[in-house]
Structure 1
Amino acid sequence: MAESPAQGRKGLPTAPQLRLDELLEGLQAQVEQVRAARDRVHTLLDAVLSIGTDLDLDVVLRRITESAVAVVDAEYGALGVLGEEGRIKQFITVGIDEDTIKTIGHYPEGEGILGLLIREPEPLRLADLGAHPESVGFPAGHPPMTTFLGAPVRVRDRVFGNLYLTDKRGGAQFDDDDEAVLRTLAAAAGVAIDNARLYDETRRREQWLAASSELTRSLLSGTDTDQVLHQIAATVRKLSGADLVTLAVPFEGGDELVIEAADGEGAEQVHGLVLQATTLAAKVYHSNERVTSSALSAEPQAGGGSAAQLGLGPGFLLPLGGGENVRGVLQVANLPGGVEFSDATMAMIDGFTDQAALALEIAEHRREAEQLMVLTDRDRIARDLHDLAIQRLFASGLTLNSVLGRISDRPEAAERVQRVVDDLDDTIKTVRGTIYALRERDRSDGRGGLRAKLLAETDQAAAVLGFTPALRMTGLLDTDVPAGHAEHLLAVLRETLSNAARHAHATAVEVTAETDGRRLHLRVADNGGGIDPAVTRRSGLDNLHRRATDLGGSFTLTPNEPTGTIVEWTVPLPSQTEA
């Protein structure tokens, strides 16, 4: 049978057909490339659309990271947001579960390859991450990673952060197309971040203006200053999203501060705490400069403070007011592991505190003006009483005295007139006492109050203890506690601190003095050796117990955990009508 013209020897295709098959295969490969490019473009467009559909910054950052992983088909991805001094202040990861993140510990701060991309913000592609000379390896528990692709994210020509992608799926390496796609996504991400930040700034500014208006209204309507301070702390915590906000004001007659308002986690534990001159808050108060820290509890604070009582992570402290009119120190903090506060947040809180300080100053001037009006009225009333009432009463008394001589022959009438004269003398004495009271000024300068005396006792005890006890004061100790109760409390504190120094050999003492207007409570806790059961003579403790029972109160002595003693002395306060 004859061979077909289209076949050659042994049934093999002829050369034209081979070339046609090759062309078809090449065309099919090009079609696949076009389809892959189309799919990648669709994926990129979907990613750009996704990151632009939300205005919440945290959501936008998460979507950017997830989209970057999707468009380059990577196993792991992360977005490192840069903070001050070019260090990473926020790290969003994709592909690593929560348990692994906890095992790794603290997120990177910008060393190794991550630091290289920070210093040189240009796309970087590596076939072997560990082989690069800048590589510093991975911490314990970190999953192994090989291929790497990174690109900076710019917002208005400023590097906001960097995208890090590792381990392309299927074991392949990242190519030029991956880098081009990531560049495009990073550019779109910069626009989305800028929009989200502008929206966030506008929303926060609206909240700030509303809070400032409410604060000013409260102050000018006569709201108590203590309530306003708590309102400031609560408002700042709401605006910043912080875990804890404290507001410390200067202590009368010294360099110390006292936390008069606290809101958030552990607020009750630090409210009323006295901050010595060596604390970070005292330094901010005297320097009038803001301080920022990534770990407040790790900062050196020889005198204690809220960061010594609680574990605090990132935060900042700023003065309330400026110049010579600093009225306190505001501390805004998150718990350990929390995110650092953005520059926009700190700027907003700074502006709010300036408004709050101005409102406080206006309210103070208004109260001073009102007080001056009251004193002026008192002077006028006292002058009128002296010039008019007393003179008339005295003249009436002289007239009646002259009448007595004319009615001496009528004993009953003379006795009645004499009683009237005596009553007029008593009335004159009463009016003079009233005039004296109206003209009397409060000569105390604020240094003789119970709060100042408590601080003086703890400072004096530091010489014997070898350290300054932590002091916390809560309530209106200067105004609600009568002088007699205050003297008893100071004597109890003095004896208790002396026992902690001489007998317990304590290395830490916490003193709490508080009142709610109905009772006075003192708590002194130390970490010493406790009460020796072999000691039978306890005259000092008997005196403390007697001081409590004489005032109708109680005195308890209980062990502290893990070591030491807790002394609690509680007495009722007389009611205002009784006082």
Structure 2
Amino acid sequence: MALRQHEAASHGGDAVNDPSNTRRQDADLRLRMDALLSELQDHVQHIRSRRDQTLILLDAVVAIGSDLDLDELLRRIVQAAVDVVDARYGALGVLGEEGRIRQFITVGMDEETIARIGHYPQGHGILGLLIREPSSLRLEDLGAHPEAVGFPAGHPPMRSFLGSPVQVRGKVFGNLYLTDKRDDAAFDADDEAVLRSLAAAAGVAIDNARLYEESRLRERQLAVGADLTRALLSGEPPARILRSLADTVRTMTGAYLVTLALPVDEGQQLVVETAAGPAAAQVLRLPLSSTTLAAKAFATGQTISSDDLSNDPRAVGGSTAVVDLGPAFFVPVGGREQVRGVLQVANTPGRAPFDETMVEMVKTFADQVALALQIAEHRRDKEQIALLGDRDRIARDLHDLVIQRLFADGLTLQATLGRLTDRPDVTERLGRVIDDLDDTIKIMRSTIYGLQQRERRDSRRGLRAHLAAASETATATLGFAPALRMTGLLDTDVPAQHAEHLLAVLHEALSNIARHARATAVEIIAEATGRTLRLTVTDNGRGIDPTVTRRSGLANIRTRAEELGGHLTLTDRRPTGTCLEWAVPLSGSADSP
């Protein structure tokens, strides 16, 4: 028994001192040590990557905080977000009215890919979810989310997603969207925390950039206001002042087109009076119908905006009929009690909509435009009063001096005529002179009557006054004042029906010139001589286009002539232009219009 125990003890001691068992224990220990070292290295690498990410974040915060140009700042923010979480693609969706994306800035896509995708997102799917619920959002698989709506044709595939709102003074300015981490891993909680920090710094930087931009705009506004005051006090022509204001508004807004539309025909229609931009010549003197947004802004006295003017169902015609326009807004000039015109500010399609700061700035300019128009109106009234005073004086002088002397001369000749009964040839000649003096006195009395007419807006004023009013009204659509000459007894010898037709013909002729001729000079001659009433309208424009077959306006003019037994003649004017002559016979009636 003792021997067995000794053998067992001997065997046990051999097991403890077995070299193979010791080697196994050493191997296990090394494996544990390697695992601990690997875990330690991973931890160190994680700390190092977090440190690097923090340094990148700090550099990004410094970079975006040093830029005060808003457009460049927004692009820097997106690039910084992509760098700080190592994403392939990044974007910033700036929110506009009603929570819609009005500007979309991307990083990671080339221009060809962006063009292939087409219009930037409108805020549906995951992007819309982040708009409705402005808080950080992290997804491993973008397409697996129930709110996902897929990608448009040509869009690169994307899987992982990380989003965070950017707030400025407690209000959501936009959202940062990041997709596809470069190591094909999912975004983690550290990435989300870093992006939130960057978004907070971006909100402060955006606020600073906007304040800086607003201060610059105020400085420019003050400078422009001072220039305007000097121009108004110096008596500079209102047309030049308005053109300068349009140029200034375009420069400060960066717009493609700025127009000022003013009412004509007693406010029944708007016409583009001033324009600035590459397309200014195409829209200048363009009539704006009641279906345009400009006319609606004029009628309501309220500012109207559009993200895509050419495709806006609320707008029909106007400048979009000749120019393709994108974002735009319309500001009424003057208060709601008396709107004097409408300022339009528009950009090309695809550009970002104008922000509220820009709209408010243009409203300030609209007030200055209203002031310029009011001063111009007062000047016109003053000149009109002076003109009417001159007319009264001339009429009195003609009546009291010239006509009386002519009448006395006529009586003298008649007395002399009775003493020359033996000289029939002299008697005939003196008789013709006396008749000419009688006709001259009639013409002068008609002229005096026309000079003494005031600008009354009723149907009782004479044809001369109507012709003068039509000529003055056409100044707004033509862009210059036409020359007007009137001859004969237009107020006394022209029947009412003839006068009505003549005025309609004149309006149609001037409207055609304003729309198609591109003329710089127009001459109007109205004559009532003998038994003929004649209207001649001559311009130096580009003439009648032979390729245009539809000429309903000219057909109406011809019909009016034929109804009165007259004719219409159109001739080319050398070197350029057209001469329209409308002539009808005068009946025996002298029904005053």
3-state SS of 2:325 partner: coil
RMSD: 4.4
Give the structure 1 partner of residue 527 of structure 2: none
CA change 1:345–1:158 in 2 (3 A) is same
Q: How far did 1:350 drift?
A: 0.9
Alignment of 1:500-515 (within 5 A): 511-515=515-519
1:346 aligns with 2:354: no
Work out the CA distance in 1 between the residues paired with 2:519 and 2:292: 26
Measured in 2, the distance between the counterparts of 1:495 and 1:67 equals 61
Offset of 1:161 from its aligned partner?
0.1
Partner of 1:570: 578
Q: Secondary structure at the match of 1:49?
A: helix
1:548 maps to which of 568, 571, 577: 571
Question: For 1:520, which of 537, 540, 561 is the aligned residue?
Answer: 540
Alignment of 1:453-464 (within 5 A): none
Partners of 2:473 and 2:393 lie apart in 1 by 35
Which residue does 1:175 correspond to in 2? 188
Structure 1 SS opposite 2:149: coil
SS, match of residue 26 in structure 2: coil
Question: What is aligned with 1:480?
Answer: 483
Q: In the alignment, does 2:173 pair up with 1:165? A: no
Separation of aligned partners in 2, 1:524 and 1:90: 46
Q: CA deviation at 1:90?
A: 0.2
Offset at 1:170?
1.4
For 1:75 and 1:152, locate their aligned partners in 2 and report how far apart those are by CA, in whole Å.
19
Q: Residue 512 of structure 1 aligns to a residue in which SS?
A: helix
How many residues are aligned here?
476
CA distance in 2 between partners of 1:299 and 1:198 (Å): 32
Shift of 1:335: 1.2
Residues in 2 aligned to 1:364 and 1:332: alpha-carbon distance in whole angstroms: 25
1:178-223 per-residue CA deviation (whole Å, 9 max, x = no partner) reads 0000000000000000000000111111112212222232223222
Q: Distance in 2 between matches of 1:139 and 1:25?
A: 44
String of CA shifts for 1:244-269, please: whole Å, max 9, x gaps: 11111001335111111111132111
CA contact (8 A) 1:296 1:313 kept: yes
Letter in 2 for 1:128: D
Q: Which residue matches 1:128? A: 141
Question: Structure 1 residue 492: deviation in Å?
Answer: 12
- Return 5+ residue gaps in structure 1 as ranges: 398-428, 455-471, 498-508, 532-537, 555-568, 573-579
Instruction: Decide which moves more: 438-447 or 510-519.
Output: 438-447
Q: In 2, Cα distance between the equivalents of 1:106 and 1:164?
A: 17
Matched, 1:449 2:462: no
* Aligned match of 2:69: 56
**Partner secondary structure for residue 58 of structure 2:** helix
CA contact (8 A) 1:208 1:239 kept: no
Q: Percent identity?
A: 50
Once the two structures are superposed, residues 456-508 of structure 1 have per-residue CA deviations (whole angstroms, 9 ceiling, x without a partner) of xxxxxxxxxxxxxxxx94331x4336569xx89958967999xxxxxxxxxxx
Q: Which amino acid aligns with 2:578?
A: T
| Corresponding residue of 2:126 | 113
What pairs with 1:187-336 in structure 2 (closer than 5 Å)? 187-300=200-313, 304-336=317-349
2:102 to 83, 89, 93: 89
Per-residue deviation, 1:306: 0.7
1:101 corresponds to which letter in structure 2?
I
**Residues 525-548 of structure 1, C-alpha deviations (whole Å, 9 max, x = no match):** 6987689xxxxxx9x9xx999643
Letter matched to residue 312 of structure 1: L
Give the match for residue 337 of structure 1: 350
Say if 1:65 and 1:79, in contact at 8 Å, map to a contact too: yes
Q: Give, in angstroms, the shift of residue 361 of structure 1.
A: 1.8
C-alpha distance 4-42 of structure 1, shift in aligned 2 (>3 A): farther
User: What do residues 51-95 of structure 1 show as CA deviations (whole Å, max 9, x unaligned)?
Assistant: 111100001000000000000110100000000000000000001
1:188 partner letter? A
Question: Is contact 1:252–1:447 with CA below 8 Å preserved after alignment?
Answer: no
Deviation, 1:231, is 1.7
Q: Which is worse superposed, 436-445 or 50-59?
A: 436-445
Q: Is the 8 A contact 1:212 1:356 kept in 2?
A: no
CA distance in 1, matches of 2:550, 2:92: 54
Instruction: Specify whether residues 294 and 325 from structure 1 end up closer, same or farther in structure 2 by C-alpha distance, changes over 3 A only.
Output: same
Distance 1:438 1:473, change over 3 A: closer
Q: 2: distance between equivalents of 1:288 and 1:138? A: 42
Q: Paired residue for 1:154, among 158, 161, 167?
A: 167
Matched letter for residue 548 of structure 1: T
For the Cα contact (< 8 Å) 1:511–1:523, is it kept in 2?
Answer: no
Cα pair 2:168 2:203 within 8 Å, conserved: yes
Q: Distance in 1 between matches of 2:503 and 2:542?
A: 11
How far does residue 346 in structure 1 lie from its aligned partner after superposition? 0.5
Q: Secondary structure at the match of 1:326?
A: coil
Are 2:71 and 1:71 equivalent residues in the alignment? no
> For residues 81 and 528 of structure 1, do their structure 2 counterparts lie closer, same or farther at Cα, with a shift above 3 Å needed?
same
Shift of 1:280: 2.0
Deviation readout 1:239-298 (Å, 9 max, x if unpaired): 111001111100133511111111113211111111122322112111111111111112
Which structure is larger by alpha-carbon Rg, 1 or 2?
A: 2
Q: 1:347, CA displacement in angstroms?
A: 0.8
Q: 2 CA distance for matches of 1:196 and 1:281?
A: 32
CA change 1:445–1:163 in 2 (3 A) is farther
Deviations 1:526-571 (A, max 9, x none): 987689xxxxxx9x9xx9996435x6565xxxxxxxxxxxxxx436
Q: For structure 2, list consecutive stretches of 5 or more residues without a partner in the other structure.
A: 1-15, 409-440, 456-464, 488-501, 523-538, 552-557, 581-593
CA contact (8 A) 2:570 2:579 kept: no
Deviations 1:121-156 (A, max 9, x none): 000011111111111111111111111000000000
CA distance in structure 2 between the aligned counterparts of 1:483 and 1:311, rounded to whole angstroms: 44
Indicate the larger mover: 196-205 or 224-233. 224-233
Distance in 2 (CA, whole Å) between partners of 1:448 and 1:380 is: 21
How far, CA to CA, are the matches of 1:188 and 1:270 in structure 2? 45
